[in-house]
Amino acid sequence: MKHRHALFVTALFALSTPLIHAQQPKPDPKAQEEKKKPAPREHTAKPGPFKIEVELDALFSSPADKQHKISLTPKAWGDMTVLSALPHGARVKKGDKLITIDTEKLERAIQEVELAEPAAKLALRIAEAEVAALEQTTPKQLAAARRSKSISEENWKYYESTGHPEALRAAKKSIQFAQQGYEYSKEEYEQLKKMYEADDLTEETEEIVLRRAKNSFERATENLRLAKMRIDRDIKINLPRQKDSNRSGAEAADLNFAYTIQSLPRVLEQKRYALEKAKRDRTKALRTLKNLKADLASFDVRSPVDGILYYGLSRRGSWITAPAISKKLIPGGKLAPREVFITVAETGFLSLTAAVPEEKLGYLKPGLPATAVPISNPGMKINAEITNVNYIPGNFSARFSAGNEKTPTNRRLFPGMKAKVKVTAAKHENVITVPNNLIHGNSVWILVDGKKQRRAVKKGATDGKVTVILKGLNEGDKVTTK
C-alpha cells in the first residue's frame, strides 16, 4: 500500500513538471570524448553488427479515446460558481459526483418562470380572444362609420339646400301671417266700432261682440309684436347658429369618419402584433424554462467511467491547464462555458509521448519497435511501438503505443509519469560500415597495390559516425582518405 502511495505521489509530482524540462537531453561524457578523438585516416572493411538506437525521455499519457473531457455549455444560465470539487488526481468510480455547483439562484429563477407561466398563458388567451373579436367587429364598425358619414353628408346637403332656406321662408311667412292677423283683427274691430257707434243705444250683445273684437285686436297686436321679435331673432341669430351647428356636425362627422377609418385597422394591427409578441414571449419563456432545467441537470457533474480525475487538459502527458483550473475549482471559483475543467482518464490504457531533438528526428518513423522503462520502476520493461511522428517545427515529437485493451499497461503507471524510451531505428547482424569522413558522396577511395582508386558504393543507414555500405566494398578492402 505504501509503495502504491509513493507511486501515486510521484505521478502527481510529474503532472506539475513541464514536459520540456522532463525531456532536456543530458550531456553524454562518452560522446564528448568521441568528439575529441581525431577522425580516422584509414579503415579496413570488415563485416560486423550495426545498430542505431535513439533514447528519448517520455511521459505516459492516456490515449485520446480514454480521456473523458468534461466541460459545461449552459444554454441559459451563465453563473457557474463552484462550491466544492474532488482533488486533482483523485480516483473515481463511474457515477461519482465530481463537482458541486451553486444552483440556488438557478433553482429560484426556474421557480419564478414556472410561477409566471399560468398568468402568461391566460394573458395570451385574452389577447387571442380580443383579436378574434376585433377581426369580426372592425369591418362592421367601418361599415357603420361609412353609413354615418353618408347620412351626415345627406342631412347637411338637405339642410343647406332646402332646410335652411325653408326655415327662413317660414320665419318670414310667420311675420306675414301675424301681420295679416293683426290687420284682420284691426279692420274687424274698427268696422264694428263704427257700426255700433252709429246707434245711440248699444245693446248688451253688441257690446259683448265689440269687446271680443277689441280683445282679439289687442291679442293680434301683441302677437305681431312678439312674432316680429321672435322671427327677427330667428333670422339674425337662431337660424345662422343652426346652420353653423349643422355644418360643424357634418365636418365633425367627416373628421370622425377619417379617424375611424384610420384608427380601427391600426388598432387591429396593433393587437395582432401584440398577440404575436405575446406568443413569442411565451415561447421564449417556455424555451428558457426548458434550457434552465437542462442547465440545472447538466450541473450535476458525474464521472462517466472509472478512472483518475485530473484538472484541465493534458498535452503529451502533461496537464498543462491544471494550475489555472485549480484556481477555479475552489469554493467561490467561477467556471467558464465550454472550458474543459476536468478530465477523467481511464486507468490501465496508456501511451507514451516524447519530445524529439531535431538531430534525432530522421531516425524515427511509425512502426519502429521500442522499449520503455518507467522511472518509477526501472525493473519494468514495456514493449512499445511508434504510432505517430510529429514534424511541426519547434514541436517535434513522437507517440508510442504502451499497451491496449487486450494487453493493458501496468496499473501502477499513471498519466504524467516519466519513462526512458529506446527506439531501434536500424539493426544489422553482419554488414560493412565505413567512417563518414572517408565517404565522398556516393564513392570512397581504396588502396590497391599502394595506389588510391575511387570506387562507387551504395550507402545504407548511418548513425552519424559510420555508414552502412550495402554495395561496392568487400571484406579486407582498405578505405583511405582522398
- Torsion from C-alpha of 213, 219, 221, 224, nearest 10 degrees: -130
Question: Which of the four pLDDT bands, split at 50, 70 and 90, describes residue 28?
Answer: low
Question: Which of the four pLDDT bands, split at 50, 70 and 90, describes residue 344?
Answer: very high
Mean pLDDT on 172-188: 81
User: What's the pLDDT score for residue 133?
Assistant: 93
User: What's the pLDDT score for residue 179?
Assistant: 82
Closest CA to 342 of 310, 302, 301: 310
Nearest-angstrom CA–CA distance, 424 and 410: 23
Nearest-angstrom CA–CA distance, 445 and 464: 20
Q: Which residues, listed in sequence order, are joined to residue 43 by a DSSP beta bridge?
A: 479
Nearest-angstrom CA–CA distance, 183 and 199: 25
Asked if residues 97 and 114 have their Cβ atoms less than 8 Å apart, the reply is no
Q: What 3-state DSSP class applies to 431?
A: strand
Residue matched to cell numbers 507517440? 399
User: What's the pLDDT score for residue 323?
Assistant: 93
Nearest-angstrom CA–CA distance, 341 and 94: 18
Which fold is adopted by the domain 107-296?
Helix Hairpins (1.10.287)
All structural domains of the chain with their residue ranges: 107-296
Mean pLDDT on 35-64: 83
CB atoms within 10 A of CB 381: 12
Mean pLDDT of the chain: 83
Tens digit of pLDDT for each residue in 103-150? 999 999 999 999 999 999 999 999 999 999 999 998 998 888 888 888
Using only the alpha carbons of the chain, give its radius of gyration. 58
Alpha helices by DSSP H, 87-203: 104-158, 164-197
Tens digit of pLDDT for each residue in 77-97? 999 999 999 999 899 999 999
User: What's the pLDDT score for residue 417?
Assistant: 85
Burial of 129 by CB count in 10 Å (0-12 exposed, 13-18 middle, 19+ buried)?
exposed
Question: Which of the four pLDDT bands, split at 50, 70 and 90, describes residue 5?
Answer: very low
Nearest-angstrom CA–CA distance, 159 and 151: 12
Where is 274: in which H helix or E strand?
Answer: helix 239-298
Question: Which of the four pLDDT bands, split at 50, 70 and 90, describes residue 14?
Answer: very low
Sign, CA torsion 12/15/16/22? positive
User: What's the pLDDT score for residue 216?
Assistant: 81
Tens digit of pLDDT for each residue in 305-325? 998 999 998 876 678 899 999
